A and B are shown apart, each in its own frame.
Chain A
Amino acid sequence: MTTFKDQMATDMSVFLNDDEFAETVTYNGAEITAMVEVVVIDRVENDGTIAELTVKATDVAKPTYRDTIVIASGLLAGTWKVYRDRTRQMLVRGDDNVWVVPIINDERPFVRSEGPLI
């Protein structure tokens, strides 16, 4: 008998299919299929464009802060880094099947408009 858990695992190949919602990205040098969604574009502090990457747990065993992701084409093309920000709850999360990984590119430093405070 097929369990719900089995079915969830099978469904991964439907959702993470580059003919459907997903695309091919390079994660730490390895090509994998992933879904990417932009969640924050912010220029207030140490931020750039922040997105969430959904990957199969079988493709990425353990996403790690500052891992490198390359998206070759499209609106989100560029080099991204795994990101975390506890104040925004931007943390890697997941289950048996997928990781949802915050990523950032076009990082910018925060500069006080009033100048140095020394």
Chain B
Amino acid sequence: MSLETLKSSIVEAIAGSTTIKVWANINYGKDHHVFDGIDSRNTPGEDSCPYVALLGYGESVSQRRANREYWFGWAGFVYDDSLSTTVYSNLIRNAGVVNVEALRKHVENTIKGCLTNEELEVDVDVDVNDDYPFHRFEMITTIVAPVTIGSDPLS
């Protein structure tokens, strides 16, 4: 599968995900957005939240290897300055911290759902402080796809 084909199928799956739409409407009363690349000097703001942005992607292919690797760098944001104390009265949680990880997990599951016999590797960083009231996740997904015996991965 070409890098562009895989990327398109993933971003379209995230945009069309009913699970994420339902989650976004329950938590923020509106649909999520997906950006296939963004202008880092004019990033989408509160009106676009919750949103997921594909920040970069690439692949590694070799005729000496039995698999090819694709990687995709993601960021996701919720805009949320509410607090919750739903578990213990002395545990004060920023709702956005909880919700941005929920969004990330939905994105991860959606990507997983796009794969058949490929393997998925996920590296995650959830940022709880820097951009308040924006809460951010960053995630790199690496997809390892087997190369069919006898085929040329560079063709």
Q: Given A107-B133, A107-B134, A110-B130, A116–B75 Cβ distance below 8 Å? A: yes
Interface of A is mostly: loop
**CB-contacts of A89-118 with B (<8 A):** 106-118
| B46:A111 contact, CB within 8 angstroms | no
A70 CB → nearest B CB, Å: 15
Interface of B is mostly: strand
How far, in Å, is A84 (CB) from chain B's closest CB?
11
For chain B, the count of residues having a C-beta within 8 Å of the partner chain is: 29
Would A118 and B124 be within 8 Å (CB), given that A48-B45, A108-B43, A109-B136 are in contact? yes
Complex Cα gap A112–B73 (Å): 11
Interchain CB contact under 8 A, A111 and B40 = yes
- A46: nearest chain-B partner, CB-CB: B131
Q: Is B101's CB within 8 Å of the partner chain A?
A: no
Interface residues of B in 35-82 (CB under 8 A from A): 38, 40-46, 53, 55-56, 73-75, 77, 79, 81
* A residues less than 8 Å from B40 (CB atoms): 111-113
Known contacts being A48-B45, A116-B140, is A111 close to B53, with CB within 8 Å? yes
Interface residues of B (CB under 8 A from A): 38, 40-46, 53, 55-56, 73-75, 77, 79, 81, 123-125, 130-134, 136, 138-140
A residues neighboring B (CB under 8 Å): 43-46, 48, 66, 106-118
